[in-house]
């Protein structure tokens, strides 16, 4: 882990006040992929607006001392009939789908703040917002960071339950799940 400027975390449950900050951080985090249709800023903004209106939406943003947003994580709560589950193959076990589950939709940290603990702080602060759900699920591109991103999630207790391709433009993602709180 390297050191970087300290960050302050801010948890929100309404999209409007932080929408521009989320898009700014996303644009920086995904800069090398923005030319791909699924990663384009317009595609992200459309997903963000849809996710921001979904049940149980919450976000945590990290801000540098100068007020600049440098990281974010956001999620919502999905139920058994949600398309989140229907796109995973093979079909997920009922223990994950029969009750509300946190769906971690996005987590990103700007380059200067990577390897500083910012991502785990964002992740854990976001999950602390969800106290009623027994599981958290996410989808990760197994090629991201040459596999490092998926291995990071595995080190946080996530395990693969299948694959998903949410849109024709998106890569095939690894669907993962973890019990909340970890270790139970």
pLDDT at 152: 95
Full-model pTM: 0.91
Whether omega for the bond prior to residue 90 falls within 30 degrees of 0, making it cis, is yes
pLDDT at 4: 47
What is the b/e burial string over 107-139, where b = at least 16 CB atoms within 10 angstroms of the residue's CB?
bbbbeebbebebbebbbebbbebbeebebbbbb
What's the Cα-to-Cα distance from 67 to each of 12, 70, 115, 175, rounded to whole Å?
Answer: 16, 9, 20, 34
Instruction: Give the integer Cα–Cα distance in Å for 168 and 184.
Output: 36
Closest listed residue to residue 105, CA positions, set 126, 133, 132: 126
Sign of CA pseudo-dihedral 90, 93, 99, 101: negative
Which CATH fold would you assign to the domain 7-179?
A: Aminopeptidase (3.40.630)
pLDDT at 5: 58
Residues of the chain with pLDDT under 70: 1-5, 182-184
Strand 58-64 with 7-12, pairing: antiparallel
């Amino acid at each position: 882990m390297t050191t970087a400027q300290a960050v302050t975390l801010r948890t929100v449950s309404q999209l409007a006040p932080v929408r521009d900050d989320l898009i700014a951080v996303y644009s920086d985090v995904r800069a090398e992929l923005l030319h791909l249709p699924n990663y384009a800023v317009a595609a992200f903004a459309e997903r963000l607006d849809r996710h921001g209106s979904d049940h149980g939406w919450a976000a945590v943003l990290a801000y540098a001392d100068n007020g600049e947003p440098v990281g974010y994580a956001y999620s919502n709560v999905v139920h058994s009939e949600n398309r989140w589950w229907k796109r995973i193959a093979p079909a997920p076990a009922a223990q994950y789908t029969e009750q509300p589950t946190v769906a971690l939709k996005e987590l990103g940290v700007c380059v200067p703040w990577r390897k500083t603990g910012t991502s785990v702080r964002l992740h854990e602060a976001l999950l602390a917002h969800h106290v009623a759900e027994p599981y958290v699920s996410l989808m990760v591109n197994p090629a991201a960071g040459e596999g490092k991103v998926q291995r990071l999630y595995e080190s946080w207790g996530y395990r693969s339950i299948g694959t998903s391709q949410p849109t024709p433009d998106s890569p095939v993602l690894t669907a993962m799940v973890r019990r909340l709180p970890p270790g139970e």
